[in-house]
Amino acid sequence: MARYIIRRLLQAIPTLAGVSLISFVLVYNSPGDPILIRTFDPNITQETREILRRQLGLDQHWALQYTSWLTGITLRSGDVVEEFTRQDINCNYVAGLNATFCDSGGGVLRGNLGTSIATNQPVWERMVERMPATFELSVSALLVSLLLGVPLGVLSAVRQASLFDGSVRVLAVVGNAVPSFWLGLMLIFYFGVALGWLPTGGRRTVSLTNEFDLVDRISHLILPTIILAFGGIAGISRFMRTETLEVIRTDYIRMAKAKGVAARRVWFVHALRNALIPLMTILGPTIFGVLTGAVIVETIFSWPGMGRMTFSAAVQRDYPTVLGAVMFFSLLTILGNLLSDVLYGVVDPRVRL
C-alpha cells in the first residue's frame, strides 16, 4: 500500500509539470497585456510603462519567463547587473555569454509562487489569506451534497419509477443545467431582498469590530452552500440511484430477501453499505467540481475566497496569481483522486493492491 501511494505521488510530479507548462503557455499567450490594462491612462508615460514591463520581465520570451517562474533565475542579454540588482535579487554578469543572470531566490521549484502583479503581495500569502473562506464554503457544500445526495438517491431507487423518483430526476437535471450565477441571483433576490430572511452576500456582517458571531457566519453560509452543493446533490443522487439498483439485483441481496430480512434493513444496511463504496470514486471529481464552482459562487456572493481571487486575477491578467491558483487546484485534484483510490482499496478488499 505504501509503495502504491509513493508510486502515485511520484506519478503526480510529471502531471503537475505538464499542467504548469500548459497553463503557463495559455495564460501568458492569452490576449491582453497586464501593463496596458493598468496604465491605459494619458497621464502615464510610455517610459514608465517600459520600466514596469522590464521590471516584471514581461518584455522577455515566454520560455525565459517560464524558466524564471520555475527556478527564480532570470537570464538577460548584456550587462544589466545594476538595473536589476535589489535587496533580494543577486545579479552576475557572465562576460563569455554577454548575459546577466539574476537570482531572486524564488521560483516554484524552490516553493515560491512569485509575487502578484496586481497587489505586489507574495502569491502564496494571498492564497493563504483566502483559504479559510474557501475551505469553509467547500466543506459545507461537500457535506450538504453527501447528506442530501445519498438519501435522495437511495430513496429514488427504493421507489423506482414513482413520482418521487421522477421529481428527484427533474431536480438533478435542473441542478446540472441551471447556471449557478442565475440561480444565485434569484436566491439572493427572494431570500435576501424580498423576504429578508438571509444576508445577500459576504462571509459575515461587516462592522467596525468584525467580531466572530457563529449564528451570523452560518446565516451567511446558507445561500452560497446551497448553490455550490446543487450540482453535487444532482450528481451524487443520480449515481447513488444507479449503484443501489445495481446492488439490489445481486445474489446476496436476493439471499437476504429470501431469508426474510425486513425490507428497510435490506435497503439501508445490506444494500446501502455496498452501494456507498463506488461513491469513493466520484468523490474526487465532486471535490474538483466544488472547487471550480467556487470561482462563480464566490464572485456572486462576495465570498472572499480563492475562487474569487482567481477570477479577478484572470480579469486583471495577474499571471503569477492565476498560475499559483491553478497549480494549487491541480494539486488538490490530484490528491483528491489519490485519496479516493486509496480509500477505495481500504473499504473494498477486491481492489486492494
Partner 1 sequence: MKNRKLSLLATLLVAALVLAACPQPTPVVETVRETVIVTQVVTETEEVVVTPTPAPPVQGGVWVEGSSADATILNPILASDSASFDVLGWFFPSLLGQDPFSGAIVPTEMAHSWDVSEDGLIWTFHLQDGVMWSDGEQVTADDFKFTYDAIASDLVETPRKANLDNIESIEVLDPLTIQVTYGEVKCDALNNLGLGWLPSHLYAEDYSDVMDSPLNEEPAVSAGPFIFNEWIRDDNSTVLRNDTYWKGAPNMDGWIYKIVPDPGARLAQLQTGELDLIGVQPEQLTTVQLDANLNLHKYKDDGYSYIGLNQANPANPQAGQDEDGNLVEQDPHPILSDLAVRQAIAHALDYDAIISKVYLGQGYQIASNVLPAVGWAHDPSLQPYAFDTDMASQILDDAGWTDSDGDGVRECNGCATAEAGATLTIRLQTNAGNTTREDLGALVQDQLNGIGFDIQFEAIEFGTLVGELLGQTFDMVIIGWTGLGTDPNDDSFWHSKFDTPGSGFNFVSYQNARIDELLEQAVSVPGCATDDRAPFYHEIQKIIHDDIPYVFVTGSVGNVGYSKKFNGTNPGPWSFYHNVETWSLAE
Binding test (CB under 8 A) with partner 1, winner from 206, 214, 215, 258: 206
Q: Which is nearer to partner 1, 117 or 279 (CB)?
A: 117
Read out DSSP for 276-297? HTTHHHHHHHHHHHHHHHHHHH
Residues between 254 and 293 that touch partner 1 (CB under 8 A): none
Residues whose CB falls within 8 Å of the CB of residue 129, separated by 6 or more in sequence, listed in order: none
Contact status: 76 vs partner 1 (CB under 8 A): no
Residues whose CB falls within 8 Å of the CB of residue 260, separated by 6 or more in sequence, listed in order: none
- Grid coordinates in use for 297? 459562487
Q: Please check whether residue 74 is in contact with residue 104, taking contact to mean a CB–CB distance below 8 angstroms.
A: yes
Q: CA end-to-end span of the chain, whole Å?
A: 7
- Grid coordinates in use for 182? 442565475
Contact status: 193 vs partner 1 (CB under 8 A): yes
Contact status: 40 vs partner 1 (CB under 8 A): yes
Q: Please check whether residue 108 is in contact with residue 70, taking contact to mean a CB–CB distance below 8 angstroms.
A: yes
Residues whose CB falls within 8 Å of the CB of residue 43, separated by 6 or more in sequence, listed in order: none
Contact status: 43 vs partner 1 (CB under 8 A): yes
Contact status: 52 vs partner 1 (CB under 8 A): yes
Q: Residue 234 CB, nearest distance to partner 1 (Å)?
A: 24
Task: With contacts defined by CB under 8 A, name the span among 29-37, 161-169, 287-295, 334-342 that binds partner 1.
Answer: 29-37
Binding test (CB under 8 A) with partner 1, winner from 84, 267, 301, 328: 301
Binding test (CB under 8 A) with partner 1, winner from 256, 300, 322, 334: 300
Binding test (CB under 8 A) with partner 1, winner from 85, 90, 112, 119: 119
Q: 171-201 b/e with 16+ CB inside 10 Å = b?
A: bbeebeebebeebbbebbeebbeeeeebbbb
Binding test (CB under 8 A) with partner 1, winner from 64, 70, 89, 185: 185
Binding test (CB under 8 A) with partner 1, winner from 5, 12, 37, 261: 37
Contact status: 179 vs partner 1 (CB under 8 A): no
d(CA 89, CA 223): 47
What residues line the site for partner 1 (CB under 8 A)?
31-33, 36-49, 51-52, 55, 118-120, 126, 129-130, 185, 188-189, 192-193, 196, 199-203, 205-211, 213, 216, 299-302, 304, 308-309, 312, 317
